Amino acid sequence: MFVIHKMASSSHPLFTSSLRFSTTHSPSSFSPSLLLNPISKHPKFRSFYLFKKPHYRFLSSPAAVAVDPATTVSGDDRKASDDVPKEVEKVVLPTNESSPALLKIRHTCAHVMAMAVQKVFPDAKVTIGPWIEHGFYYDFDIEPLTDKDLKKIKKEMDRIIGRNLPLIREEVTRDEAQKRITAVNEPYKLEILNGIKEEPITIYHIGNEWWDLCAGPHVETTGNINRRAVQLESVAGAYWRGDVNKPMLQRIYGTAWENEEQLKAYLHFKEEAKRRDHRRLGEDLDLFSIQDDAGGGLVFWHPKGALVRHIIEDLWKRIHSQCGYDLLYTPHVAKADLWSISGHLDFYRENMYDQMKIEEELYQLRPMNCPYHILIYKRKPHSYRDFPIRVAELGTVYRYELSGSLHGLFRVRGFTQDDAHIFCLEDQIKDEIKGVLDLTEQMLLQFGFDKYEVNLSTKPEKAVGDDDIWVKATGALKNALNDKGWAYEVDEGGGAFYGPKIDLKIEDALGRKWQCSTIQVDFNLPQRFDITYIDSNSEKKRPIMIHRAVLGSLERFFGVLIEHYAGDFPLWLSPIQARILPVTDTQLEYCKDVTEKMKASGIRVELCTGERLPKLIRNAEKQKIPLMAVVGPKEVETESVTVRSRFGGELGTMGVDDFIRRIKDAVDNRTFV
């Protein structure tokens, strides 16, 4: 569920900011002095943020991370209300899983909408209309719809709801269902009927006026729906059955809730998600682009975005080196035969680019890094004494995605996986998995992610490998999770055919879950590539191979970070940490000296001039620069700067060396100046 709080800011004169914090940690000990000093070296305090106005917190569970959806931007972008009540108000947004009543409402709304569409547009043909995470949709074979049409449809829906028509379930034979569908000339429904294997066929009627093939569930009458808690959101094109060779349909999306308060809270959440959209922020902050001239799904990292990427990569490499991984670089292409051995050409061909011929041999852009790491393993014989062997690579891979599925940084055609493989013995699996979990936690905490959803997937019906090794490997994964103390859900039979796995989803500032980390035991590739080692009895044995990724891909993780921080990167991660702003050109030479001194200290700083000071400040705020150092005649005279923090407000005048020290301390401790 989502929980939304309204909170008022502190009245302390130096503390004109509200706090964003993980709700598992108490803010009671937080002091105004922390505006000028590091908060704490303890990882639990790394998710604190400072803002200037009251804010909402969106929680997907009681332990989620709180956010400021309306006040992390400055100037005209601010949308928070100044009259937020001081008392805390809560609005709980249930899910389809937590509220059976809500699921029935949404499913019924899809039927009501379809009925309304056919009343407004009698020639419309209906297809399917399921409930979804935040509402429902229905696909229609109809001429393109406009926003004006949606208003007409919603008005008709309100009439149907107001008539309090009963939802009546009826069971019919397949022949009877076919007869009725043919009579009303609904060809798509006929195709749906042919795909239903169960008998009898169930139909739901709205009064005596409209019906649909459906298994339910539904509310008892349309009057059980609060029409003020229902809203039609958008219309989009969608191919029938997702096939580009089939007709283009009109898909109408709607949202439905139990009451008006929930709808308002959801709309606020939706607006906040829109404001955080990484595609818009990526353009506004000049972080990345996807160029039509180069092709869809191919990411161009601009200087600022590339700086953030370098910081992430450096952190990743340092942590992996500390954890005993050897870092690799491998080619972007290989002979097609390699992908035949790995099985990708048999099972993954539709996601691979076409092969290219080079000197009469076929080559393939890599969709995965795994075979390369295996080839490095195979370059020499191994003994049981060599294990575990850990190798890691930031390897760029290429996968064919339909243009319609591409989505900013979240769905691309070329991306860099933070890929690693561990070769170990059977009795080392648990310790290696535990080590991966520890590394994952260490890495994710750097970015403030400390809420995880963990799933363990076990042996499917069809699988490679003996039952004995499956039992041992699955038990090792469970024991590692238990030792870690992490709660997890078991997906029985949900593992890949080649081994059990652990999937970890991180929770962002809006309570949304993002799949990032994966740990996968593999019994298949070692067999396909015939990799071996010599055991203590001088016999050849097959090692265990573990695939793992922590961030998933740099592109997708960067997109998550942009939306999590709303573009307001913490000081240590911000591409530009400070701007030097002269009041007039008279202070320009001194500002150049300050800029060079800060750069020499490893601080990412830039000097901006050519505009009046208010505009320089506003530009820095719009670009979400964490720190501004204003320099006037007094600062030149005293060899100082007057500092303004995006998160902490005015910090006063301080010496340049003191300013540098505070920035470096804050970066080292993942805090703010």
| Active-site residue list | 370, 399, 417, 419, 421, 501, 547
- Helices then strands, each counted (H, E), the chain: 18, 33
Q: Bridge partners of 126?
A: 140
List CB contacts of 579: < 8 A, sequence separation 6 or more.
605, 606, 607, 608, 616, 620, 625, 627, 628, 629
Distances in whole angstroms, Cα of residue 577 to Cα of each of 590, 606, 610, 627, 644 = 19, 9, 20, 6, 12
Q: Quote the CA–CA distance of 484 and 280 in Å, as a whole number.
A: 38
DSSP SS3 for 171 = strand
CA angle 621, 626, 632 (to 5 degrees): 75
Q: Quote the CA–CA distance of 646 and 625 in Å, as a whole number.
A: 7
Q: Write down the residue that tokens 């007057």 correspond to.
A: 642
Contact between residue 270 and residue 292 where contact means Cβ atoms under 8 Å apart: no
Distances in whole angstroms, Cα of residue 318 to Cα of each of 44, 202, 322, 558, 670 = 21, 60, 6, 19, 16
Burial class (CB in 10 A: 0-12, 13-18, 19+), 97: exposed
Q: Residue 2 — φ and ψ, nearest 5°? A: -100, 140
Could you tell me the two tokens for 97? Answer: 């899983």
